[in-house]
Amino acid sequence: MLAERRCKISYKAPLVIDPNRSNITDLLVKVALTESRIIVLHAYAGWGPQVFTVAKYLGMMGTGYVWIATHWLTTEIDTNFPLPSSMMDDMQGVLTFRMYTPETELKRKFVSRWSNLTSGQKGKIGLNACGLYAYDTVWLLAHAINAFFDQGGNISFSNDSRLTQLRRGDLNLDAMSIFNGGNLLLRNILQVNMTGITGPFKFTPDRNLIHPAFEIINVIGTGIRKIGYWSNYSGLSVVPPEYTKPPNHSSSSQSLYSVIWPGQTTQKPRGWVFPNNGRHLRIGVPKRVSFREFVSYTEGNDMFTGYCIDVFTAALNVLPYAVPYKLIPFGDGVKNPRETELVHEIQTGEFDGAIGDIAIITNRTRMADFTQPFIESGLVVVAPVRTTLNSNPWAFLRPFSPMMWGVTAAFFLIVGTVVWILEHRLNDDFRGPPKNTMVTILWFSFSTWFFAHRENTVSTLGRLVLIIWLFVVLIINSSYTASLTSILTVQQLSSSIKGLDTLLASNDPIGYQQGSFARSYLTDELNVDESRLVPLIMPDDYAKALKDGPHRGGVAAVIDEGAYIELFLSSRCDFSIVGQDSPKPVGDL
């Protein structure tokens, strides 16, 4: 469980077999000087409680500390409950574990019989999980031996030549004999399937008990408090594991009841402090050659600047405590370093962390944890574009096609004629000789384009036709105005590369930023031949390669992270992002 969260033991502090108070004090003083405040105590019941006594004396049982005791503590508590109040006071807030055994009728009967057997004794001995498993182990061996005899086995021993070589010493190992039926008995033990007082008793193929589970215990007051369970089947839970139901691994179900930590607080401890004898945090910073706006390193004075550095220092200023750190450049300063190698240095322990424009991709998240991204990222394709200015004096005709112009003119005449037919009998404005009638029809139709017609319509049908026509004119007028504005004011950009698909379909060279993950993505995921890839370093290299083109030693397009391309395009208008923001196999910066 701890390994899944990348928790590791930073310091191992061994004690002698039977330590005295002085030995424990010397060791805990060394532990107190380290940065970790999460202490796992694996001890014998005979001297384990004394460690808590000394820790309390040294102030190590207060706020900020986390103490986790292995199952020896619950064994001691269950066996000798109740413990002396002074001993319980020394271990307030400690977390410990107990092997989980389900509450069954068989277990209740056994516990009742045990209580009756020990009730008359002066020092009552309680039952612990180890005792319950020991009882089931005896029955397990009985079943295995019974099967051994049923299979025709017999009890016989023989000397082992390997033990005769160990005659020297006080242990007299050469006097031991080997059970001849050991392999058969072991096979029978591993095949036993029984239900004991601890629940189902069966072994897995790797010789472990099925469904191991633990109760998580919090020592509070004069007793203990159960805050949850853990099993390899369902993980953390506030209810006992149920193997008849499918496991629920959702984040909402992986929880425990609240914990009372050392110092009688419910606030979760941070778990670490800066050690009194510790070193500064070693933070790796890439020595970038290009796009130094994100992060840059100045030789000589060891100065680090850039947007990423500003974000890091601003985050540190928000913390309520000081963080001593040292920025260490990573790379040779001649070319951009590989960011994956920098992240790998964190995994190996060379660096404690890293600052920079480091893209969050799958294989890197397996090596280290990332903070929240400050900008959305992804790979984009940038290519040169051709600019065409529409200065043609006949550009006002381009919003509509010739067919559209013809249909529009025909509708003008048709609507004018229909309105004249409906109005000339009732309306004096539409009467007159044929020449005047034709002029009236043309003028009326044309003036409706600008909603400036002066002729009144009298008939109901004429007004209905005019209302419909004016609505159509409004739509045509709006479309024409928008298209003409775009043609006359916006530069039309075009490129031979329409997107990633057309780029991959061609055999033209493709540029990428040296040190970026784009190279491995193109070769491993998109199966682009390495001979087509051209490493580029500086933004000027991008511009030159794109201007030269594939036929003059350049590239057809450049694939890089969106953040770099936006910075590149901010000062260069001859290029543009083509296609969608793709591919997008990554997270963010």
Q: What are phi and psi for residue 39, nearest 5 degrees?
A: -120, 125
DSSP string, 373-428: -SSB--EEEEEE-EEE----GGGGGTTS-HHHHHHHHHHHHHHHHHHHHHHTTT-G
Percent of the chain's residues with pLDDT above 70: 89
- Please tell me whether residues 28 and 43 are part of one structural domain: yes
* C-alpha span between 444 and 428 (Å, rounded): 14
Residue 213's pLDDT is: 92
**What's 525's domain CATH number?**
3.40.190
Dump pLDDT digits (tens) for 508-520. Answer: 899 999 888 888 8
- Please tell me whether residues 10 and 96 are part of one structural domain: yes
**What's 80's domain CATH number?**
3.40.50
Dump pLDDT digits (tens) for 72-117. Answer: 999 999 988 888 999 999 999 999 999 999 999 999 999 999 888 8
- 165 located within any domain: no
Could you list the beta-strand ranges (E) of 191-341. Answer: 194-196, 199-201, 213-220, 223-231, 235-237, 281-286, 296-298, 303-305, 325-330
Q: Which of 277, 300, 327 is the last residue in one of the domains?
A: 277
Assess whether pLDDT exceeds 70 at residue 523. Answer: yes
- 398 located within any domain: yes
Q: Which of 472, 489, 506 is the last residue in one of the domains?
A: 489
First-last CA distance in the chain = 29
Q: Mean pLDDT across the stretch 413-420?
A: 80
- Please tell me whether residues 445 and 300 are part of one structural domain: no
Q: 367 near 343, Cβ under 8 Å?
A: yes
Going by DSSP bridges, is the β-strand pair 557-561/510-513 parallel, antiparallel, or unpaired?
A: parallel
Going by DSSP bridges, is the β-strand pair 95-99/66-69 parallel, antiparallel, or unpaired?
A: parallel
- Please tell me whether residues 2 and 98 are part of one structural domain: yes
What is the pLDDT confidence band of residue 575, given thresholds at 50, 70 and 90? confident
- 316 located within any domain: yes
- Please tell me whether residues 339 and 405 are part of one structural domain: no
Higher pLDDT, 470 or 390: 470
Residue 586's pLDDT is: 45
- 140 located within any domain: no
- Please tell me whether residues 349 and 299 are part of one structural domain: yes
- 59 located within any domain: yes
**339 CB burial (10 A radius; 0-12, 13-18, 19+):** buried
* C-alpha span between 32 and 35 (Å, rounded): 8
- 39 located within any domain: yes
Q: Measuring CA to CA, which residue among 563, 512, 516 is closest to residue 376?
A: 563
Q: Mean pLDDT across the stretch 245-273?
A: 86
Strand arrangement of the beta sheet that strand 379-384 belongs to: 533-536, 510-513, 557-561, 379-384, 575-578
Residue 330's pLDDT is: 93
Residue 493's pLDDT is: 57
Number of domains in the chain: 4
* C-alpha span between 555 and 168 (Å, rounded): 79
- 152 located within any domain: no
Residue 276's pLDDT is: 64
- Please tell me whether residues 480 and 514 are part of one structural domain: no
Q: Mean pLDDT across the stretch 162-180?
A: 71
Q: Which of 471, 489, 507 is the last residue in one of the domains?
A: 489
Q: Which domain holds residue 415?
A: 393-489
- 324 located within any domain: yes
**What's 330's domain CATH number?**
3.40.190.10
Dump pLDDT digits (tens) for 326-354. Answer: 999 998 888 889 889 999 999 998 999 99
- Please tell me whether residues 398 and 482 are part of one structural domain: yes
Q: 381 near 577, Cβ under 8 Å?
A: yes
Q: Mean pLDDT across the stretch 192-219?
A: 91
- Please tell me whether residues 440 and 549 are part of one structural domain: no
- Please tell me whether residues 224 and 350 are part of one structural domain: no
- Please tell me whether residues 15 and 98 are part of one structural domain: yes
What lies within 8 Å, CB to CB, of 98 at 6+ separation is: 71, 74, 78, 129, 214, 215, 217
- Please tell me whether residues 96 and 242 are part of one structural domain: yes
Q: Mean pLDDT across the stretch 290-305?
A: 87
Dump pLDDT digits (tens) for 473-483. Answer: 888 888 888 88
pTM for the complete prediction? 0.57
Dump pLDDT digits (tens) for 552-567. Answer: 889 989 999 888 888 8
